[in-house]
A and B are shown apart, each in its own frame.
Chain A
């Protein structure tokens, strides 16, 4: 069953059209990559799902409900969590407080505490730094914190925007491993990446966005050898 579904979504920033027809779907328990060059519209696609930007036409459905007109907090409450580009850690708040904010809408405090403990198990380096200010963490640690913060919400689905951005290859591999683990625990994932090679290795399927529209869709293993992808996004690396 489709968890997240975009149908012909168009979005404008003022007079500038950023999305010109995005259609995609992510099924329950699936991990899907969203590839595309800088400025193609990947971030805008995620922001539309999380209701940070309004759509002009088309529709977005999540877990069977139309969320085209929802507020961001309704989307979070429904279980769709967006881990934004650039991590956006609350820099002067402690690691623990950042995680607690991830559980802002969870009524039961004990549940939040339990989920934070689970995040500490998955990402032990956060446990060691729990009282430290978020802004003092390294880039890789901030990315782990951003993901952990998303997990505390108890997501049905995570949308990750360029988690590998600016990280050393070794750290990228760690982040990708964590993402696979999250999927293995049953959470659907939509992974936005410019690092197409790394993304295709951990995903089931992928979409390519070009100039605000979804153009190519396919199984990750096929796309890794698809000449259109190899030439445009995989380089000769």
Chain B
């Protein structure tokens, strides 16, 4: 029971970040290597926002966290939009490798930019969510965990509804399938891509703030491993597939929780990446990939 809960908790973080990864890949076939760093950026923006607000009574911490969360999402989303506009858009139509190298460059710029501004040492987050641990059907669970999971869940449900039921969401799916045909529908593809970057980055930022508040420590490299994990989650679910990214995040959370339990915690990351390699070689389309039945 404990393992399931742990897997679910970590997995929902992975899912939040994997969503942005997958949305961006789906719509412009770009592996945004800087995506994990947007998570880091979100955490630091949350840090900056909280610090500038001054002291917040601990009793208000969850309400305050929500406000900070929204603000940080807005700012991280904007950062993502700027990155797309100035780093990726000029390269649209350029060879894939050039774009990939640019993405790695953006990633380093974010990491060392933050390191230069905030210092290379870990900072402790101004809010630390603490709560009593209680027993829920056999698992040790804390209130902050539940709150964070609810927030993550709501964000994902909201996003799914947006993508399935709104006109912009439909446009995102159509661009992912056929960009030129989407142009012929009158879709301003650039505007929709901008929005996709905004949402994906905002979700990563949200995960960053929540991680900061939960673990209490942030540093400029915190996005690196989690970026790889989110990529893994996206691949597990079928990259470009929104539901797949959520599912992939949870699956990865479980794999890690169970793997760490059976083989020891130091194997956790090895497990995650073994799963990545397994999927890339055996089923590169992921669990939910290739659902299309096409007839010509």
Contacts and interface: CB of A to CB of B under 8 A. Distances in A.
Interface residues of A, number: 30
Contact of B177 (A72, A91, A100, A139): A91
A139 B296 CA distance: 6
A93 B177 contact: yes
Interface string A41-82: 000000000101000000000000000000111001100011
B292 A101 contact: no
Interface string B163-185: 00001001101100110111111
Contact of B293 (A72, A77, A100, A136): A136
Contacts, number: 77
B294 interface: yes
B181 A73 contact: no
A149 B291 CA distance: 23
Interface string A77-103: 100011110001011110001001110
B187 interface: yes
Given A92-B177, A101-B170, A101-B171, A52 B295 contact: no
Interface residues of B, number: 22
B188 interface: yes
A104 interface: yes
B184 A72 contact: yes
B186 interface: yes
B21 to A, nearest CB: 20
A73 B188 contact: yes
B186 A104 contact: yes
28 contacts: A50-B183, A72-B184, A72-B186, A73-B183, A73-B188, A76-B186, A77-B186, A84-B184, A88-B180, A88-B181, A90-B173, A90-B174, A90-B177, A90-B181, A93-B170, A93-B174, A100-B170, A101-B171, A101-B174, A101-B182, A105-B186, A135-B292, A136-B293, A136-B294, A136-B295, A138-B295, A139-B296, A153-B186
